[in-house]
Amino acid sequence: MMMSLVDGCPNCPKPTYETQTDRERNAGIPRCLSQLKACIRAEVFSALDDQSETRPALSHENLLINELIREYLEFNKYRYTASVLTAESGQPELPLDRQFLENELKVVEDAGSKSVPLLYGLVSHFLSSRGDSGGKVFLRGHPVQGGHPVPGGLNVDHSNTLPGPDV
């Protein structure tokens, strides 16, 4: 029964078994359960996704954020989660070029940082810079209209020592 469900799912990879006997083949079922569960979730999402509901246009900031998240998810082998993110957000199927992300985010990497997602480097930067001046980076709110960010950019004050919002 489980095999027919997997065989009938066009998005599911076909499970492979390294053994030949029925007993050994049944022992391999738990190995494919995570794939099967992910496929079922993806199929349920696809069935429940209301295509008539218009999504807001993918802003430049959301494009970059989604790509950072996708790179992190794929690095950690959360491939099904990444595929749902791509489908639900309208992110392009092909990942953005890493050099493009570096340029857009105005970051420079050393050789060691290129082996991990950019998100790790960004988090590491903020965690390690906490003790530099004792200050915090002040992030200003992004303009929102109708519950969605308005294109135009995040306002980040890079002085690193602001005490808080302007009064």
- pLDDT at position 26, please? 58
Tokens 């070029």 sit at which residue? 97
- pLDDT at position 5, please? 46
CA 107 to chain centre: 19
* Conformation bin of residue 7: beta by default, left when phi > 0, alpha when psi is -120 to 50: alpha
- pLDDT at position 159, please? 45
- pLDDT at position 47, please? 76
By C-alpha distance, which of 143, 149, 132, 130 is closest to 57? 149
Q: How many CA atoms lie within 13 A of 130 on its CB side?
A: 5
- pLDDT at position 1, please? 39
Whether 15 and 31 have beta carbons less than 8 Å apart is answered as yes
In tens digits, the chain (167 residues) has pLDDT values of 344 444 555 555 555 544 455 555 555 556 577 777 777 877 787 777 777 777 778 899 999 999 999 999 999 999 888 988 988 888 998 999 999 999 999 999 988 888 999 999 999 888 887 665 566 777 767 666 555 665 554 444 444 444 444 43
- Contacts of 32-36 with C-beta under 8 Å, sequence gap 24+, read 32/6, 35/6, 36/2, 36/5, 36/6, 36/12
- pLDDT at position 28, please? 55
